[in-house]
Amino acid sequence: MSTAQSHPDTVKAELDELMRLFFSAFTNTDGPPRTDRIHEVCIPRATIISQTGDQSVVYDLDSFIAPRQQILTDGTLTEFSEWEVSERTEIYGSIAHRFSEYRKSGIHNGERIKGGGHKTTQFVRTPTGWRISSIAWEDDDPATQK
C-alpha cells in the first residue's frame, strides 16, 4: 500500500506495474487474456475513451472489457499483444498522469495487423494503492483500432 510519503521512485515503479498489467491483460500470445486484471488495476468507476479525430467512444470497465474478451477468445484476434514503448509520467501528491506511446500486433481475421498510438492515463492513490482512474487513447491508424 502506498502512503502519502512514498518516495517518487517507489510511486513511479507502482505506476509502471499498473501500466504493464493493463497492457498485458489483453495479450493472448501465451494463453488466454487476463482481462479480469482490469478490475484490479482500475478504480471501480474508471472511464476508458477511444478517440478517433473528433469522435469519442466512452466506456465503463465492463463495456470496454466485454467485446475485447470476446474477440481475444473466439479466434477473431489471435497472437495479440500491446506494449508501451515510451512514457512521460508526472506525479503530484495523490494524483499522477502518464502520456504513453504504444505498439500492438496480432492476427485479425487471418490478417497480420500492426499499429500503435498514444494513451493518456490518470492515476489516483486509494487506500489499497495506486489505481487507474481514466485512460484515453488514439491509434495512429484508425483501421487498426479494435
pLDDT digits (tens, 9 = 90+) for 20-77: 999 999 999 999 999 999 999 999 999 999 999 999 999 999 999 999 999 999 999 9
Which three cell numbers mark 124?
489516483
In this predicted structure, the answer to whether residue 138 has a pLDDT above a threshold of 80 is: yes
For cell 489505481, what's the residue?
131
In this predicted structure, the answer to whether residue 3 has a pLDDT above a threshold of 70 is: no
What are the beta bridge partners of residue 100?
87, 119
**Structural element, H or E, at residue 67:** helix 61-73
Q: Which among 111, 125, 103, 89 has a CA at the least distance from the CA of 5?
A: 125
Residue extents of the structural domains in the chain: 8-138
In this predicted structure, the answer to whether residue 141 has a pLDDT above a threshold of 60 is: yes
In this predicted structure, the answer to whether residue 5 has a pLDDT above a threshold of 60 is: no
**Structural element, H or E, at residue 105:** strand 95-108
The 111-126 sheet, strands edge to edge = 55-59, 42-52, 129-139, 111-126, 95-108, 77-92
Architecture of domain 8-138: Roll (3.10)
In this predicted structure, the answer to whether residue 81 has a pLDDT above a threshold of 80 is: yes
Query: What pLDDT score was predicted for residue 9?
Result: 84
For 30, 56, 124, 127, the CA distances from 132, given in Å and listed in that order, are 25, 19, 7, 13
Residues 50 and 30: their CA atoms lie apart, in Å, by 26
In this predicted structure, the answer to whether residue 145 has a pLDDT above a threshold of 50 is: no
